[in-house]
């Protein structure tokens, strides 16, 4: 961290109920040479990783469907969201995280994944950096039902669907999760499945 346009950074804790929400106060040097005081709330849940699982023979992808309360509160009728498999980094590195998360959520034990992007999820408010992966799966990699951890009360539906259908869902507005849009567009651009 280094930027000579910012000084006097102070923070106070607003909530550590589950993750960390802090209020930051700092002085910022505007282009006109004036220092202005700014306040921003910043939510820190660590970083995350997500993966698009695809099968070039079957021409399918694996997505998941789960209830997301923030979307329920904002325009997503039943709150169910179609997403890539994803999770929060748990002190492990992004690659180990996504391999573990893939098995927990989808039941596929993948061995080889490829990192394609890194990006900030919501840079005005969250510290989170997201690590984006793609990975090929085959039927023989299926070792369990998936569906998430009972201990976390996750209710995850695993969807294996034709890539073409996923692309239709992208274009007709059924897929409204940004991380999923990013990786489906990656798959289209790089012709992962034709």
| Residue 87 within binding range of Mg ion, rule CB under 5 A | yes
For Mg ion, give the closer residue by CB, 87 or 147.
87
- Kindly tell me the burial class for residue 191, based on how many C-beta atoms sit within 10 Å of its own C-beta (0-12, 13-18, 19 or more): exposed
Q: Which partner from the list Mg ion, ligand GDD, none does 136 bind, CB cut-off 5 to 8 Å by kind?
A: none
Tell me the three state secondary structure of residue 112.
coil
Report CA-CA distances (Å) from 131 to 1, 65, 95, 112, 120: 20, 20, 9, 15, 9
Q: How far is the CB of 148 from Mg ion (least distance, A)?
A: 7
Q: Which partner from the list Mg ion, ligand GDD, none does 135 bind, CB cut-off 5 to 8 Å by kind?
A: none
Site residues (vs ligand GDD, CB under 6 A): 18, 48, 50, 86-88, 121, 128, 130, 152, 154, 179
Going by C-alpha positions, the residue among 60, 80, 61, 54 that lies closest to residue 69 is: 80
For ligand GDD, give the closer residue by CB, 86 or 166.
86
Q: How far is the CB of 142 from ligand GDD (least distance, A)?
A: 19
> In this structure, are strands 48-55 and 129-136 parallel, antiparallel, or unpaired?
parallel
Q: Are 32 and 22 in contact (CB under 8 A)?
A: no
For ligand GDD, give the closer residue by CB, 130 or 141.
130
The site for Mg ion (CB under 5 A) is made up of 86-87
């Amino acid at each position: 961290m280094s930027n000579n346009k910012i000084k006097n950074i102070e923070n106070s804790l607003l909530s550590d109920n589950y993750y960390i929400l802090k209020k930051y106060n700092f002085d910022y040097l505007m282009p006109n040479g004036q220092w202005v005081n700014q306040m921003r709330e910043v939510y820190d849940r660590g970083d995350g990783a997500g993966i698009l699982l695809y099968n070039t023979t079957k021409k399918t992808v694996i997505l998941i469907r789960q209830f997301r309360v923030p979307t329920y509160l904002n325009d997503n009728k039943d709150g169910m969201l179609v997403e890539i498999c994803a999770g929060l980094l748990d002190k492990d590195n992004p690659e180990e995280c996504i391999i573990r998360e893939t098995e927990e959520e989808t039941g596929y034990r993948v061995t080889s994944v490829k990192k394609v992007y890194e990006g900030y999820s919501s840079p005005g408010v969250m510290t989170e950096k997201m690590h984006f992966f793609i990975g090929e799966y085959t039927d023989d990699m299926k070792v369990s039902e998936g569906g998430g951890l009972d201990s976390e009360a996750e209710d995850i539906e695993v969807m294996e669907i034709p890539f073409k259908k996923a692309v239709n869902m992208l274009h007709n507005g059924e897929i409204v999760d940004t991380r999923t849009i990013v990786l489906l567009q990656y798959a289209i651009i790089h012709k992962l499945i034709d």
